[in-house]
């Protein structure tokens, strides 16, 4: 996520902290579901639908990801909703990917509400929705309108929800039996850029490949890669899915399988390297390289995932320390459910959710934001704020999620970012540094000269520990 926060006055922020527009919430215990094993087989289906651009020009729409108030010049390609149905014999789940910069919990739940009939008809156990995080899509969070203006377009939001519903129905209607495989290809480390020390990221392009038992049925490929979808860079003003769209379109053309994209752990800020100074050629070259790596994943290098499907999901609370986020909440731009939390800097907290999917022996974490990779895999951590002051409230770096997963008996862990919510960046407390004069409303440079922009788009310094605590809670529930 990229955005420049407006510099709000201290008086205005104090007034907002007293506002009473926010609702309460309760604690939530994990919901757990298990199916498969024995003679079970994978049943999967795929659907997609384009998200039409608004036809009514009475309400403008803006391009999201970089600059405020930018109306697009046109489109390179339409964003889409893609969905897969996954089932091992006792009801299934829907996984819906939306080509957009992000979706808040309110819009997520609105889409779920529109799928109630399908859920009832199909016995669907869970609907999970993530964003591909393209920085060339229409503003779906409201953060990229002109100063102090909600950038969301009502017609586009409606078109997006209709496309998500259409894709979900298609996925259910096209389900067929088959086998599911996982493979990966390591991209060169210089192909990715970590804009903030330490240099920690996952260089692998992962491929989930569903092969239908009936050779006349279409296969499905799901690609997961830990990089921001912004090879078009900030000078672009055309609507596009960016490299996820080109990768998936090309692989579908070359293999005959349907294809969709999932973002990984991209906080930090992980993005593809600039391979050409022209944004259009940079998109082309970046996509071509990723296609080459995708094609290098052969059946011989894949492993089959046993037909067992389990999930654990829960809501969780976290303190809302970011005064800019609270301001946007007051304007109706950010719509997460919130509650009174007098321990936070704003006096409020918000709710979000996390889900774990166990596919065979693979653990897939649906992460509601952009988590720094070191919080997932471990390794070196930034040290701009080693004592947790100011800004990190004395919080310590939690155990890496991969370590927690192993301690609970799980093997390989992968993360799908921006799933079921968008909390912004999830930053290690040891590197969480705020501007002391106007925290969250302007960034600051550390002793190394690094810009701590990500903190201005973070809920607060306790987010990472709470995320780890919630992850462990779900691992424990799923392992029982």
pLDDT at residue number 314: 97
Q: What is the CA radius of gyration of the chain?
A: 21
pLDDT at residue number 421: 95
Q: Which residue has the tokens 């229409």?
A: 138
pLDDT at residue number 120: 96
pLDDT at residue number 25: 43
DSSP structure string for 327-363: HHHHHTS----EEE-TTSSSSEEEEEEEEEEEETTEE
pLDDT at residue number 385: 83
- Please give the Cα distance from 272 to 243 (Å, whole number): 10
- Burial letters 12-31, b for 16+ CB under 10 A, else e: ebeebeeeeebeeeeeeebe
Low-confidence residues in the chain, pLDDT < 50 = 4-26, 390
pLDDT in tens, 453-462: 999 999 999 9
Could you tell me the two tokens for 356?
């774990």
pLDDT at residue number 330: 67
- Please give the Cα distance from 370 to 421 (Å, whole number): 10
pLDDT at residue number 20: 36
- Please give the Cα distance from 235 to 216 (Å, whole number): 44
Report if pTM > 0.85: yes
Stated as kind and residue range, the H or E segment containing 467 is helix 463-479
pLDDT at residue number 312: 97
Could you tell me the two tokens for 146?
């002109």
Which of these, 138, 151, 135, 98, lies nearest to 236 by C-alpha position?
Answer: 135
- Please give the Cα distance from 259 to 210 (Å, whole number): 10
pLDDT at residue number 389: 52
- Please give the Cα distance from 297 to 372 (Å, whole number): 26
pLDDT in tens, 169-213: 999 999 999 999 999 999 999 999 998 888 999 999 999 999 999
- Please give the Cα distance from 98 to 81 (Å, whole number): 5
pLDDT at residue number 4: 42
Domain boundaries, the chain: 10-31+308-479, 55-305
- Please give the Cα distance from 1 to 397 (Å, whole number): 22
- Burial letters 448-463, b for 16+ CB under 10 A, else e: eebebbbbbbbbbbbb
Distance of CA 138 to the CA centre of its chain: 16
């Amino acid at each position: 996520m990229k955005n420049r926060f407006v510099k709000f006055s201290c008086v205005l922020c104090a007034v907002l902290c007293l506002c009473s527009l926010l609702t309460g919430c309760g604690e939530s215990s994990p919901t757990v579901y298990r199916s498969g094993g024995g003679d079970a087989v994978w049943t999967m289906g795929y659907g997609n639908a384009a998200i039409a651009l608004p036809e009514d020009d009475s309400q403008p729409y803006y391009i999201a990801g970089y600059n405020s108030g930018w109306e697009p010049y046109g489109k390179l390609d339409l964003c889409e909703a893609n969905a897969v149905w996954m089932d091992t014999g006792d009801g299934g789940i829907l996984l819906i990917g939306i080509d957009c910069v992000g979706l808040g919990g309110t819009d997520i739940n609105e889409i779920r509400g529109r799928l109630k009939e399908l859920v009832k008809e199909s016995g669907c156990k869970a609907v999970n929705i993530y964003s591909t995080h393209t920085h060339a899509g229409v503003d779906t969070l409201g953060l990229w309108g002109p100063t102090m203006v909600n950038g969301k377009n009502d017609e586009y939001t409606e078109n997006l929800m209709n496309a998500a519903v259409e894709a979900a129905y298609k996925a259910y209607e096209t389900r067929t039996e088959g086998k599911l495989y996982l493979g990966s290809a390591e991209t060169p480390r210089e192909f990715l850029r970590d804009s903030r020390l330490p240099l920690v990221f996952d260089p692998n392009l992962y491929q989930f490949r569903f092969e239908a038992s009936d050779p006349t049925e279409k296969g499905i490929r799901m690609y997961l890669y830990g990089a921001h979808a912004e090879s078009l860079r900030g000078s672009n003003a055309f609507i596009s899915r960016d490299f996820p769209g080109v990768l998936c379109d090309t692989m579908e053309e070359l293999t005959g399988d349907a294809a969709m994209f999932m973002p990984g752990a991209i906080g930090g800020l992980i993005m593809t390297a600039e391979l050409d100074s022209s944004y259009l050629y940079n998109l082309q070259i970046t996509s071509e390289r990723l296609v080459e790596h995708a094609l290098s994943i052969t059946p011989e290098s894949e492993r089959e995932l046993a037909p067992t499907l389990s999930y654990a999901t829960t809501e969780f609370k976290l303190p809302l320390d970011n005064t800019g986020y609270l301001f946007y909440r007051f304007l109706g731009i950010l719509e997460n459910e919130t509650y009174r939390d007098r321990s936070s800097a704003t006096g409020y907290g918000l709710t979000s959710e996390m889900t774990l999917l166990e596919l065979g022996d693979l653990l897939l974490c649906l992460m509601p934001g952009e988590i720094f990779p070191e919080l997932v895999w471990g390794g070196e951590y930034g040290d701009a704020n080693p004592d947790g002051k100011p800004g990190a409230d004395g919080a310590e770096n939690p155990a890496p999620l991969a370590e927690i997963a192993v301690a609970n008996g799980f093997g390989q862990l992968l993360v799908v970012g921006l799933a079921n919510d968008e909390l912004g960046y999830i930053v290690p407390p040891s590197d969480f540094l705020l501007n002391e004069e106007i925290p969250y409303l302007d960034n600051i440079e550390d002793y190394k000269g690094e810009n701590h922009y990500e903190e201005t788009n973070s809920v607060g310094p306790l987010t990472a520990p709470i995320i780890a605590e919630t992850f462990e809670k779900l691992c424990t529930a799923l392992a029982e």
